[in-house]
Every structure is written in structure tokens, then in C-alpha cells.
Amino acid sequence: MPFVLLCLLALGVSTCSGPVQESALLQKEPGETWIRTELLFGLSRPGGAPVSEQEWRDFLGQEVTPRFPDGLTVVEAYGQYLNSAKTQVREGSKLLLILYPPDPASSAKIEQIRTAYKKRFHQESVLRSTSLSKVSF
């Protein structure tokens, strides 16, 4: 079946213009456009003990909450990645989700959190994923 016909059947429209733009979707949703940042913190130290739950909570209380006191979410996770030595690493991790209004100062705070975690727990990296979200309370 030709691509255009498939698009017409699937979308129920008279033209097929390709993927819908994220910004167009966001414009139609209720609420304000904010930044959504996810940070993935590995809990294994190189050659040492894992980051304990108490150490994580101390880090959260000292480094994250003061920078984002309005709220955040932490999710227990498990992941794997290929480190710089090309070794497959599997470890427990924490997924930190923060939503905030667009503001260059907030982006700088995110980078401060990443830097502090890498330094404190001798981490090679802290993954950052940032996107736009429509939020309403």
C-alpha cells in the first residue's frame, strides 16, 4: 500500500505531512512550558563500595534540595553502560526528575549537581537528559 494512502488511513486526514512537531503538540496542551531534566546517578564506585542509601539521601539534602526546593522526584533504577575503558558496567542507580520554568540559572544548578556527584562519589559521568514539558498544577 502506498505511503500516502497509509498515512491517510492512519491519520484520517487528507494530507500526510510527516511527524508532528513536539512544539506543535506542546502548544495545544494546557499549562505552562517548563524544562524537564532527568539525571541518572550510578551507585557503584570504581573499585569500592556502592553509594549507600544514607549517602544518597545526604547528597540529595545537601546538593539537590537546596537548589530545587520547590520539588523533585527520585526513582530507583537499574541500568548498564559501556564505560571509557570499554567495560560493560551494570549497576543500581537513581533517576532524578526535576521540572522547572525556563531559566539559565536553573541549568547552571543542574550542572553544579552533576559536578558535585561526580566529585563526591568518583563517578565518570552523570547522564543528563533535558526536554520541554507542558505542566499544570
Q: Over 60: is that where the pLDDT of 120 sits?
A: yes
Q: How many CA atoms lie within 13 A of 13 on its CB side?
A: 7
Q: What is the pTM of this model?
A: 0.78
Q: What is the pLDDT of residue 30?
A: 82
3-41, pLDDT tens digit by residue?
333 333 333 433 444 445 656 666 777 899 999 999 999
pLDDT band for 83, please (50, 70, 90 cuts).
confident
pLDDT at 11: 37
pLDDT of residue 16: 42
Tell which CATH architecture fits domain 29-135.
2-Layer Sandwich (3.30)
The residue-averaged pLDDT of 100-126 equals 96
Per-residue pLDDT, 119: 98
Mean pLDDT of 92-109: 96
Q: Report how far residue 55's alpha carbon sits from residue 58's, in angstroms, rounded to the nearest whole number.
A: 5
Looking at every residue in the chain, the average pLDDT score rounds to 85
